[in-house]
Structure 1
Amino acid sequence: MEHLELFFKSIFVDNMVFAVFLGMCSYLAVSKKVATAVGLGAAVIFVLAITVPLNWLLDQYLLQPGALSWLGEEYVDYDLSFLSFIMFIATIATMVQLVEIVVEKFSPSLYNSLGIFLPLIAVNCAILGGSLFMQSREIETLGLAFNYGVSSGIGWFLAILAIAAIREKIRYSNVPAPLRGLGITFIITGLMGIGFLSFGGMLTGGDEEEKPAATETVLEDIKIETEKAKELAENTKTID
């Protein structure tokens, strides 16, 4: 259940684009065609799926205070957390280079259409954000870290795919001149963000615990109202 909750919340509720506005540069620049958006989105999913678990391992066994205890008791007091940004970025840059080599090898057309934005995944704040959110949320297992990386990538993929499909169709619409281009794109992004935030109550938990308390309160109110009605009826009979 924990894996399923994290999966859906990372895609819809905590979407990288619509909830925290990370990766907006690539989101706006590479969303003019669906085919290009699919290629970049798939690359982002792959990079997040690899870098978030790798950075989790680095955080657990190297960077956290006391993480070096596996080397011996003399290393228990070491704290390398100040290296988090450097280590995370190094891991991301390495994986992005691997993705770039693979895409250029097997799909030159996609490589040319993505252009400079493929190597720029290395500085895409959504990629680094995934590792930093993993760290701040204190994800406990490697499986959950992998789940979070994949689901965050899928959320970003859905966002860029949706806006690309809309931008392809909107070319044939009569958009007012001042709003053409990025203007209407920002408006659509805002509306899509509202739609994704409507999933805010999805798998939030705690509802079952609140229901008994709410039911008891309602029953008490009904009991009080019933007693008042009885007293009023008795007073009416006495007056008569």
Structure 2
Amino acid sequence: MSEYLETPAGRRIAFQRSNGRGPGVVFLGGFKSDMTGTKAAWLHDWARGQNRAFLRFDYSGHGDSSGVFEEGCIGDWFADARHVIEALTDGPQVLVGSSMGGWISLLVARAMPQRVAGLVTVAAAPDFTEQGFWAGFSEAQRQAVMTKGRVALPSDYADQPYVITRRLIEDGRDHLVMNQPLPLPFPVRMLQGTADTDVPVDWAVRLLDHAGGDDVRLTLLKGADHRFSTSECLALIARSIDDVLA
């Protein structure tokens, strides 16, 4: 059953956690996904089997949390993640960031590195509002975003289109991580599928090159797609968490 946490901004964040030894594991999900997804649920069960503390949650406008998805932005979801980690966990945590959650986890790591024991990213999508959406928009789509405040894009993961707002784009520019130094002074394991059609492999390679740190590795899994949820993918995520903890 979900519990709820009120943030300083007045957002009601749904979360599920299990107690266990530390460092705990915190799962940060993707754009328009929620904590009932395959990776989040599987990792919760895995952590329980390891007697490892675990936390998963829904950003505002996602899942069971308050708010409207289309009104949210990276800054809001980063603030949600930061508050959840500060309020609901003790000591350094291993962050597991999937897709947009990879970007959010990098923002958390930059803001409070003392609370990060290690980082595992899964198809990380840093700066995707800029290097994905904005860079890929036609001139007509850019005009629609700037004059009408929104544009609708078809989704491979839901019946309804994604509505991309001017606020999402402009706020994203305030939270870029690839345009300035990105020190990661803890073990980092980046995972990426070669058949991912949402996050190109070269994004993963660029992030590897860009990140600062003495223990940063990228693993490419041949044939894995963006969901990264097959038994082989899930086992690789778990091994990567173990590797970081070791």
| TM-score category, normalised to shorter length | under 0.3
More helix by share: 1
TM norm structure 2: 0.22
TM norm structure 1: 0.22
More strand by share: 2
